[in-house]
Amino acid sequence: MKTIFDTSTREDLIHRISRIKGDSEAVWGKMNLCQMMIHCIKWEEMALGKKKYKQSLLGRIFGKMALKDFVKDETPFKRNVPTVPEFKIKEQAGNVDELKEKWISLMKEYEQFTNNHFMHPFFGELTKEQTGILAYKHTDHHLRQFNA
């Protein structure tokens, strides 16, 4: 199973992020390129423990069951999977090069990961193993969304 904690897997994701061009358009979904990058930056900040969120009521009811489905195998996330409100980005524009630099910097921080039981706003508390799989799949999902 691919995980963000595997060096070669993480380096591949970083390489894919670095190939993003300012004119990249989404293959699916409602986000534009800058919204997607800001969304992913916020997600990495959460996973790395830089931002804290509480689990929603809906997450408390369905989160663990949904998490098992998301991390059970290598299957990529489906297109147009809903996102939690905290990660819906309203800003329409940004500097693509600066956003790439910030995103890559956060990806590199997984080498010294210490947030072993972080709280996802829907899935709830994740183990390090679940975090690694979910972080990989989340990043891969959005890179595929923009053909990167």
Residues 5, 51: Cα–Cα separation, whole Å: 20
Considering the domain boundaries, does residue 1 fall inside one? no
What's the pLDDT score for residue 10?
98
Tens digit of pLDDT for each residue in 27-85? 999 999 999 999 999 999 999 999 999 999 989 999 999 999 999 999 999 998 888 88
pLDDT tens per residue across span 5-14? 999 999 999 9
Instruction: Determine, yes or no, domain membership for 126.
Output: yes
- What is residue 85's predicted lDDT score, i.e. its pLDDT? 84
What's the total number of domains in the chain? 1
Provide the domain limits for residue 133. Answer: 7-19+36-145
* Contact call for residues 145 and 20 (beta carbons, < 8 A): no
pLDDT reported for residue 54: 92
100-110: average pLDDT: 98
pLDDT at 109 (0 to 100): 98
pLDDT tens track for 119-143: 999 999 999 999 999 999 999 999 9
d(C-alpha 75, C-alpha 25), whole Å = 23
Where does residue 104 fall: left (phi above 0), alpha (psi -120 to 50 degrees), or beta otherwise? alpha
> Domain for residue 31, yes or no?
no
Beta bridge partners of 120: 124
The pLDDT value given to residue 40: 97
Element (H, E) at 119: strand 119-120
Domain assignment present for 101: yes
In sequence order, what are the beta bridge partners of 119? 125
In a domain, 29, yes or no: no
Looking at the domain assignment, is residue 2 inside a domain?
no
Q: How far apart are CA 55 and CA 122, in angstroms?
A: 6
Structure tokens at 29: 């979904």
